[in-house]
Structure 1
Amino acid sequence: MVHCKPCSTPIAHKSSAVPSSIDVLPYAQPSFYRSIVGALQYLTITRPDIAFAINQAYNGSYDLHAFTDSNWVGDCTDRRSTSSFCNYLGSNLIYWFAKKQHTVSRSSTETEYRSMVDTTAEICWIQQLLKDLSVPSFSVPVLWCDNVSAMALAFNPLFHSKTM
């Protein structure tokens, strides 16, 4: 970071007060506004220097939710599975991850469960970060998984002894 060059961002450093009349109807064409914000969200992937300013334009909820998935024995050479997940704050993608698991799993349930564990740890970290940044959280985070057996294992602690 020693040789980095600073650049200015197109956003004010201090938040401005918003009149109460805007709270009733923020935009005359909400679908047009959402399409513009969606296009700007796409730009944040390719232009991280404007990511903060674009995310300030989004005025949606701060609900945290994550999607997790894995492929069982995805690599034919070492037989290890790949875990992946993505975390959203409202409709904004804030973090995604894909990595080979460290061990060889015996079943797709074990693979998906490991992926759910990694995602849950990440959600807890993001919740703490948001709390430290004083971002309000009004709902419990939701973890989406497509494996019924892994969800049953996660919800019923009696199953844990049968998996060893």
Structure 2
Amino acid sequence: MSGCNPIGTPLAQKHNLRRDDPILVDATNYRSIVGALQYITLTRPDLTHAVNLVCQFMHQPGASHFQAVKRILRYLQGTLDYGLRLLSRSSLSLYGFSDADWAGCLDTRRSTTGYCIYLGANCISWASKKQPTVSRSNAKAEYRSMSTTTAELTWLMYLLRDIGIRLPAPPVLFCDNTSALHLIVNIVFHARTKHIELDVHFVREKVAAGDLVTRLVPTHLQIADVFTKALSKDSFHGLRSKLGVLPSPTSSLRGSDKSNKSLATN
């Protein structure tokens, strides 16, 4: 794939990937490539959702699944010089974005949880994973996603405390679903949501104890969208920049050198 044509996004917006693909491919080759892509997601959060999706077909990959893997490779071909930017000087504010793609899985109708967590301007943790149970409403899917993100925020807060870093304020969790936010602060709603696992409600306890602050974020500013669904090229590139996935400064310098050389020869 070294000579392939680059593409703007790692995943098609209407991919329709399902388990049962009648045309099977070499499973060993598929697993080898996808396994390598998993390592890349450690420093490339923009690939997380696409790689998470193709990982779900490891047991019996088909032609459509392998085409999705090839698309990821084409996207990588055009972004070889991209990486996660980490600033040495940044604030110590801890905050996260939580989102869910309700019933996004075409086979099980389970939702996908996505989140990203920042320390100041630096993205330090992210994930895209399928939820363990089916959610009967978008609000419940979002609430479960907030629970997962809260657990990660709590762990990071304790980790920072162990290494001697005290946060100036409680962590902030951003969500774009008003109904999910109402579940946290309104006790009346809880009588109608007993079928949600009890451990999910620890988000409300964190807020009540002052250990977490929740805020509404407009949908177009929801960075975690990139971890739950396939986006258009413009939307994807905008959120990719907000994650801090940018071209290497040295690649820009190399490009300038080439331009200067071409000007000199002309």
Q: Structure 2 length normalisation: TM-score?
A: 0.41
Q: % of aligned pairs identical?
A: 46
1:116 aligns with 2:146: yes
- Of residues 150, 156, 163, the one that matches 2:186 is 156
1:89 matched residue in structure 2: 119
Quick one: distance in 2 between partners of 1:71 and 1:81? Answer: 5
- Please state how far the C-alpha of 1:58 moved relative to its aligned partner: 2.1
1:66-118 Cα offsets, whole Å, 9 max, x none, are: 00000100011111000000000001000001100000110000000000011
Higher relative contact order (CA 8 A, sep 6+): 2
Separation (CA, whole Å) in 1 of partners of 2:90 and 2:115 = 22
The structure 1 residue matched to 2:163, chosen from 123, 133, 143, is 133
Q: Secondary structure at the match of 2:167?
A: coil
Q: Give the C-alpha shift of residue 158 in structure 1.
A: 2.5
- Aligned partner of 1:77: which letter? D
- Aligned equivalents of 1:82 and 1:139: distance in 2? 29
Root mean square deviation of aligned Cα: 1.4
- Where structure 2 has 5 or more consecutive residues not aligned to the other structure, the ranges are 1-81, 195-266
| Structural mapping, 1:31-46, within 5 Å | 43=83, 45=84
**Between Structure 1 and Structure 2, which shows a larger proportion of helix residues?**
2
Aligned counterparts of 1:92 and 1:142: Cα–Cα separation in 2: 15
The equivalent residue for 1:142 is 172
1:73 aligned residue: 103
Separation in 2 of the partners of 1:130 and 1:161?
Answer: 36
Q: Please give the alpha-carbon distance, in whole angstroms, between the structure 2 residues aligned to 1:142 and 1:128.
A: 15
Partners of 1:117 and 1:137 in 2: how far apart?
Answer: 21
Shift of 1:150: 0.2
Count of aligned pairs between the two proteins? 113
Opposite residue 155 of structure 2, the aligned amino acid is W
- AA aligned to 2:171 is P
Letter in 1 for 2:169: S
What SS is found at the alignment partner of 2:158?
helix
1:129 Cα deviation from its structure 2 partner: 0.1
Shift of 1:139: 1.1
Q: Secondary structure of 2:125's match?
A: strand
CA positional deviation for 1:136: 2.4
Give the counterpart of 2:128 among 75, 79, 98.
98
TM-score (norm 1): 0.65
CA distance in 2, matches of 1:97, 1:105: 19
Q: Where does structure 1 differ by over 6 angstroms across 4 or more consecutive aligned residues?
A: none
Give, in whole Å, the separation in 1 of the partners of 2:155 and 2:187.
Answer: 23
